């Protein structure tokens, strides 16, 4: 017999029904509009989405033929963006940034294939900013308005001006929503670079630097990859509403950059999937042989950009395209991209025999390497099952178990740590719903220069790749954040480098896509009987001491194991400090690994000597710990 449900006595009448205005809803549910908030340590954190929404409007103007320069300034807390397009119509300046469902993108004649958020983007920026200012200039007249958290605080009258036509936006993200936020210039610079590749001839001035591209996606791959590491010259093909660039390198994995209407689709989508499948099909048809998909795409580095009407995205932040059928055409996304590749890529390979030969050699090399490790891989998989990693090496998170959906992966974290004391502290203090722990046994092997065969032969590496679910593809990566948590001493730094080498050597796209981060833990604890302050640097320590009027106790943490689980919980919770591992476009991955993890060179020895930091000895630290 079914058990009668217990009634919860809660008053429910007209007084309980509440209607939110646009800015209240955005502030209460920011994730619906900008994804996760974050502190700026991840490239998809909300502060970068705010910037993107403003810049997207400037791109729409350029695409329509107005303005050829955008100026962007980003300081620690403030952002300004100035374009030289037509400028918002002066009578609609306030409405365009504060009235939901108001914007020029609704007129398909004016913005046929725009990237804007159909009247939502700048409203979200306005609502989520502590301060927001906008002004537009049209034919010698200027209209300005200022807001605080979406509320209009100053409505300026229209005035005469000598400024050129265009729009200016200034905003300061609200710290009550974006706690402890900071902009990372590398992330902003990469965003700017992507805009230049997709809008050839449009100049961006970012924090005093000028960025412009003339060859589009060809420039993207040239900058992303050191040209000497590519197996053949970049294939660059352009037609109406589609542009691609591709080559193969000597690294492991697949590397793609996909765009829709100028929007960087970080998670790909239907266009990228069609591109990947189309390449395989055309290559098989060209060589008249059914090569394995893995062998064709291994080590590929490619980019695709398309422009379509009314694209359908899977989220408000437009990071994954969901469009299956093209609007106004009896054609699917898959057919559209395949037909382009069949005509242009096939023709290119027929006309460029050296490139076709180099591509074939890369495919055959991948085939040989795959077959060489097939037997080892099978044995390694059996060992992983016997090791029962979910009970020994890996302490998984509850919500994640058995669930590979992206929306859950986005919230999950795997801490990689070494030693019983460190892993014990994290395990006891973690959020078991979302945070998992993988424990290393001692220092991992330096895998620099080794082949992927070692990943299956080495127990630690084999179990780690199984825990992450990246054995065959990083598409199903089980954790959005991979956090390296080691002691802040020489041994800890060495372990950190060895783990990074593993990812950069065999799974570079995991690093490149912003998943790998370093856990920052406090170096000092400064306290008295009333309060405690944790400090992450010598500067923070001195500031804390001053705030106590020099009457405090100072503790220097030497390792993660010295921090109690109760304390550790505060460092890996909402206020967690993470430093992203960023591979800059100007960096050649092979050269980086050769320098740091290869055989000792005089250059590296000189670097270490020049940058050696002299730490205080234990005696000085013990004196510091005494009560002042």
Q: Tens digits of per-residue pLDDT, 273-311?
A: 999 999 999 999 999 999 999 999 999 999 999 998 888
Between CA 323 and CA 329, with CA 325 as vertex, the angle to 5 degrees is: 135
CA 435 – CA 400 distance, rounded (Å): 9
Helix 185-198 vs helix 46-63: crossing angle, to nearest 10? 20
Phi (first) and psi of residue 251, to 5 degrees: -90, 175
- pLDDT tens digits, residue range 549-581? 888 999 988 778 778 888 888 888 877 888 899
Residue 125 has pLDDT above 90, yes or no: yes
Options 3.40.190.10, 1.10.3720.10, 3.40.50.10480, 3.40.50.670; CATH of 374-521+566-597: 3.40.50.670
- Residue-level pLDDT at 28: 86
Residue 160's H or E segment, with its range, is strand 159-160
- Residue-level pLDDT at 108: 47
Winning range, highest mean pLDDT, from 328-342, 381-395, 480-494? 328-342
Residue 387 has pLDDT above 80, yes or no: no
Q: Give the neighbor-by-neighbor strand order of the sheet with 578-580.
A: 394-395, 435-440, 413-418, 481-485, 516-519, 578-580
Closest CA to 134 of 101, 102, 176, 89: 89
Reduce the DSSP state of residue 140 to 3 states and report it.
coil
- Residue-level pLDDT at 236: 97
Tally the C-alpha atoms within 13 A of residue 79's C-alpha that lie toward its C-beta: 26
Least confident of 97-111, 418-432, 528-542, 578-592: 97-111
The stretch 102-111 carries a mean pLDDT of 49
Residue 396: pLDDT band (50, 70, 90) is confident
Residue 295 Cα to chain centre, angstroms: 27
CA 109 – CA 206 distance, rounded (Å): 31
Sign of CA dihedral 290, 293, 298, 302: positive
Neighbours of 490 (CB within 10 A): 8
CATH tag, 22-211: 3.30.565.10
Beta strands in 322-434 (DSSP E): 394-395, 413-418
- Residue-level pLDDT at 409: 65
- pLDDT tens digits, residue range 28-87? 888 888 888 888 888 888 999 999 999 988 988 888 889 999 999 999 889 999 999 999
Residue 613 has pLDDT above 50, yes or no: no
CB 206 within 8 A of CB 72: yes
174-178 long-range contacts (CB < 8 A, ≥24 apart) are 174/27, 174/128, 174/129, 174/130, 174/149, 175/130, 177/27, 177/30, 177/37, 177/46, 177/128, 178/37, 178/38, 178/39, 178/40, 178/45, 178/46, 178/47, 178/128
Q: Count H helices, E strands: the chain?
A: 23, 23
CA 304 – CA 344 distance, rounded (Å): 14
User: Which residues lie below 8 Å from residue 48, measured CB to CB, with a gap of 6+?
Assistant: 40, 183, 187, 188, 191
- Residue-level pLDDT at 105: 52
Residue 203 has pLDDT above 60, yes or no: yes
Residue 170 has pLDDT above 80, yes or no: yes
Structure tokens at 369: 């390497």
Reduce the DSSP state of residue 168 to 3 states and report it.
strand
Between CA 335 and CA 346, with CA 341 as vertex, the angle to 5 degrees is: 135
Sign of CA dihedral 175, 177, 181, 184: negative
Residue 126 has pLDDT above 60, yes or no: yes
CA 253 – CA 583 distance, rounded (Å): 16
Q: How many residues does the chain have?
A: 628
Residue 361 has pLDDT above 90, yes or no: yes
Phi (first) and psi of residue 534, to 5 degrees: -100, 135
| 217-370 matches 374-521+566-597 in fold | no
- Residue-level pLDDT at 563: 82
- pLDDT tens digits, residue range 209-221? 999 999 999 999 9
Q: pLDDT exceeding 90 applies to what percent of the chain?
A: 42
- Burial label for 136, CB within 10 Å (0-12, 13-18, 19+), is buried
CATH class of 217-370: alpha beta
Closest CA to 359 of 283, 454, 457: 283
CA 414 – CA 480 distance, rounded (Å): 8
User: Which residues lie below 8 Å from residue 291, measured CB to CB, with a gap of 6+?
Assistant: 283, 284, 363, 367
CA 597 – CA 446 distance, rounded (Å): 7
**Four-point Cα dihedral 566, 567, 573, 575, nearest 10:** 160
Can you give the three-state secondary structure of 406-473, one letter per residue? HHHHCCCEEEEEECHHHHHHHHHHCCCCCEEEEEECCCCCCCCCCCCHHHHHCHHHHHHHHHHCCCCC
Winning range, highest mean pLDDT, from 155-169, 393-407, 429-443, 501-515? 155-169
Sign of CA dihedral 330, 336, 340, 345: negative
Residue 191: pLDDT band (50, 70, 90) is very high
CB 479 within 8 A of CB 436: yes
Q: Show me where the domains of the chain are located.
A: 22-211, 217-370, 374-521+566-597
CB 541 within 8 A of CB 526: yes
């Amino acid at each position: 017999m079914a058990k009668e449900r217990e009634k919860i006595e809660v008053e429910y009448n007209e007084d309980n029904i509440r209607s939110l205005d646009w800015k209240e809803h955005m502030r209460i549910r920011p994730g619906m509009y900008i994804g996760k908030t974050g502190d700026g340590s991840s490239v998809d954190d909300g502060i970068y989405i705010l910037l993107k929404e403003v810049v997207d409007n400037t791109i729409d103007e350029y695409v329509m033929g107005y303005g050829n320069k955008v100026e962007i300034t980003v300081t620690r807390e403030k952002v300004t963006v100035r374009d030289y397009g037509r400028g918002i119509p002066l009578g609609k300046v306030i409405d365009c940034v504060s009235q939901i469902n108001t914007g020029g993108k609704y007129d398909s004649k004016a913005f046929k294939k725009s990237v804007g958020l159909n009247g939502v983007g700048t409203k979200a920026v306005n609502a989520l900013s502590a301060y927001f200012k906008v002004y537009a200039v049209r034919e010698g007249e200027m209209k300005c308005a200022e807001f605080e958290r979406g509320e209009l605080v100053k409505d300026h009258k229209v005035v005469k001006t000598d400024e050129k036509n265009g729009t200016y936006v200034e905003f300061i993200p609200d710290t009550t929503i974006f706690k402890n936020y900071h902009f990372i210039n590398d992330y902003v610079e990469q965003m700017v670079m992507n805009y230049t590749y997709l809008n050839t001839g449009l100049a961006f001035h970012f924090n005093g630097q000028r960025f412009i591209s003339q060859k589009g996606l060809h420039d993207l791959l040239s900058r992303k990859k050191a040209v000497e590491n590519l197996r053949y010259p970049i294939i660059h093909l352009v037609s109406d509403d589609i542009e691609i660039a591709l080559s193969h390198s000597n690294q492991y994995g697949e590397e793609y950059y996909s765009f829709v209407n100028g929007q960087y689709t970080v998670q790909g989508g239907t266009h990228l999937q069609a591109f990947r499948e189309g390449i395989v099909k055309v290559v098989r048809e060209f060589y008249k042989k059914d090569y394995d998909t893995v062998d064709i795409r291994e080590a590929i580095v490619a980019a695709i950009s398309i422009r379509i009407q009314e694209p359908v995205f899977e989220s408000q932040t437009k990071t994954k395209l969901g469009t299956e059928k093209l609007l106004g055409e009896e054609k699917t996304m898959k057919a559209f991209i395949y037909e382009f590749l069949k005509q242009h890529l096939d023709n290119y390979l027929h006309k460029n025999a050296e490139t076709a030969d180099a591509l074939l050699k890369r495919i055959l090399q991948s085939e040989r390497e795959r077959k060489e490790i097939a037997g080892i891989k099978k044995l390694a998989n059996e060992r992983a099952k016997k090791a029962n990693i979910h009970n020994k090496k890996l302490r998984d998170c509850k919500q994640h178990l058995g669930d590979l959906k992206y929306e859950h992966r986005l919230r999950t974290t795997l801490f990689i740590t070494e030693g019983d004391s460190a892993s014990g502290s994290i395990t006891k203090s973690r959020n078991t719903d979302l945070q998992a722990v993988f424990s290393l046994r001692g220092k991992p092997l330096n895998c620099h220069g080794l082949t992927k065969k070692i990943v299956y032969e080495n127990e630690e590496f084999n179990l780690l790749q199984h825990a992450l679910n990246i054995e065959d593809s990083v598409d199903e990566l089980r954790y959005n954040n991979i956090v390296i948590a080691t002691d802040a001493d020489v041994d800890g730094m060495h372990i950190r480098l060895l783990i990074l080498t593993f990812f950069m050597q065999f799974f570079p796209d995991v690093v490149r896509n912003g998943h790998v981060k370093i856990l920052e833990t406090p170096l000092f604890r400064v306290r008295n009987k009333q309060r405690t302050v944790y400090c992450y640097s010598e500067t923070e320590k001195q500031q804390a001491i001053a705030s106590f009027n020099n009457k405090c106790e100072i503790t220097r943490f030497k390792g993660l194991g010295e921090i109690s689980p109760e304390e550790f919980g505060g460092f890996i919770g909402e206020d967690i400090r993470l430093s992203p591992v960023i591979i800059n476009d100007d960096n050649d991955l092979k050269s980086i690994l050769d320098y740091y993890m290869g055989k000792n060179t005089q250059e590296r020895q000189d670097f270490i000597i020049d940058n050696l930091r002299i730490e205080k000895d234990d005696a000085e630290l013990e004196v510091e710990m005494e009560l002042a």
